[in-house]
Amino acid sequence: MSQYPWGEATATGIGSHPGEDHAEAVRVVLGESPALPYLPELPARGVGADMIGRTASLLLEMPVEVQPSGWRFADRPGRDAKRARDHLIRDLDGLEEVVQGYEGPFKIQACGPWTLAGAIELRYGDKTLADPGAVRDLVASLAEGLAAHVAEVRRRVPGASEIVLQLDEPGLPGVLAGTVPTASGFGRLAAVDRQVVAERLRAVFPPDVFTVVHCCAPRVPFGVLRAAGVRGVSLDARLLNRREEDAIGEAVEAGTALFLGVVPGVDSVIADAGAVAAPAKELWRRLGFPSATLASQVVLTPACGLAGASPAYARAALAACRRAALVLRDDPGE
């Protein structure tokens, strides 16, 4: 039996889609990513549909509101928090209707705790990341919220054999490097210890889910993610650095799944399936792993979310990943 929730030749999306028609986005996902469908996100709907606001709506007893500088914790829930929650509930209602009869793994996405801490301000105006105590509170609240969200998705998608939780952490390299700007923008917040980063990240993982961390920034911290117990890493194949391949190889050898972004996230000319699959095949060859494991351990995706693409391109990008995943199975190379 495979150690991964999906079978061979699997492709999926990162999460965000263009437009405001969520039911249509779900239908596109089910049609073009049938091996690992997911709950799409539509940030074009405005406040609360964005990555930060959507995940903040899961926090327990930590309400948020929008200020000119962005999201900030508030004394009590207001219209911004309600709007974010309403978006999510409507999306789950629509998903439940469209996904009837589906059986197999199902993916959901949320913003990871470190990117969230670097984006939401405290009531007095500094970033949550600047206060270790506030980070601990955020992590505890997010852990409870994610566990409840996973349980709700399981109820709404009864055919889901396993939930794959993707935590979006584009801000993680900056947290580790000490490059996250202060709320004023005039300074930088101190780097966080790698062990603390791993421990806090691990603390939000719900039980009995396959957790993937998506980081579309350069310098994906594979060592930290492995220390946290992440079971999959999602990254942009174009940003891979040869100097990072030892760390990637160690992760792969330990069984970590790779979600490789091989198609641009914005409207572009899409190559044929062989060319789309080529970065994954070449990486596997350089790392020296047997071609027989490629199609099960590697999942192909767009490079990032598709919110900035046209609806037609979003569908085409997912279809291209699906066709390229078949190449990994049928023609993996030597």
Residue 97: count of CB within 10 angstroms of its CB: 10
Q: How confident is the model at residue 2 (pLDDT cuts 50, 70, 90)?
A: low
Tell me, what amino acid is at 209?
V
- Cβ–Cβ contacts within 10 Å for residue 104, how many? 17
Measured distance CA(32)–CA(37) in Å, rounded: 8
Cα separation, 35 vs 7, whole angstroms: 8
Question: What are the DSSP calls for 240-289, one per residue?
Answer: --GGGHHHHHHHHHTT-EEEEEEE-SSS-----HHHHHHHHHHHHHHHT-
DSSP state of 237: G
Nearest by Cα to 265 from 237, 294, 288: 237
**CA angle 307-129-248, nearest 5°?**
60
For 293, other C-beta atoms within 10 Å of its C-beta total 14
Which tens digit of pLDDT belongs to each residue from 51-65?
999 999 999 999 999
123-155 in b/e form (b: 16+ CB < 10 A) is eeeebbbbeeebbebbbbbbbebbbebbeebee
Share of the chain above pLDDT 90, in %: 88
**Residue 314 to residue 181: CA distance in whole angstroms:** 32
Chain centre distance of CA 224: 17
**CA angle at 162 for the pair 318 and 135, rounded to the nearest 5°:** 90
DSSP, res 196: H
In whole angstroms, what is the distance from residue 229 CA to residue 279 CA? 26
- Quote the CA–CA distance of 37 and 11 in Å, as a whole number: 9
pLDDT tens digits for range 232-281:
999 999 988 878 888 999 999 999 999 999 999 999 999 999 999 999 99
Q: What is the mean pLDDT of residues 279-296?
A: 93
Q: What angle do CA 133, 81, 59 make, to 5 degrees?
A: 40
What per-residue confidence (pLDDT) applies to 242?
A: 79
- The mean pLDDT of the chain is 94
Tell me phi and psi for residue 302, to 5 degrees.
Answer: -65, 160
Contacts of 138 (CB under 8 A, 6+ apart): 59, 62, 113, 116, 117, 120, 128
Q: What is the pLDDT of residue 1?
A: 41
Output Rg (C-alpha) for the chain, integer angstroms: 19
235 backbone dihedrals φ, ψ, rounded to 5°: -150, 165
**Domain ranges (residues) in the chain:** 22-43+100-330
Please tell me whether residue 121 adopts helix, strand or coil conformation. strand
Q: What class, spelled out in words, does domain 22-43+100-330 have in CATH?
A: alpha beta
User: How does pLDDT run across 186-206, given as a tens digit for each residue?
Assistant: 899 999 999 999 999 999 999
User: What is the predicted pLDDT for the residue at 334?
Assistant: 59
Q: Which tens digit of pLDDT belongs to each residue from 137-176?
A: 999 999 999 999 999 999 999 999 999 999 999 999 999 9
Please give the C-alpha separations between residue 77 and each of 43, 59, 65, 66, in angstroms, as whole numbers: 21, 11, 8, 11
Distance of CA 89 to the CA centre of its chain: 19
What was the pLDDT predicted at 240? 86
pLDDT at 185: 81
Q: How does pLDDT run across 209-245, given as a tens digit for each residue?
A: 999 999 988 889 999 999 999 999 999 999 888 788 8
Sheet of 257-263, strand order: 104-111, 160-168, 210-214, 232-236, 257-263, 298-302
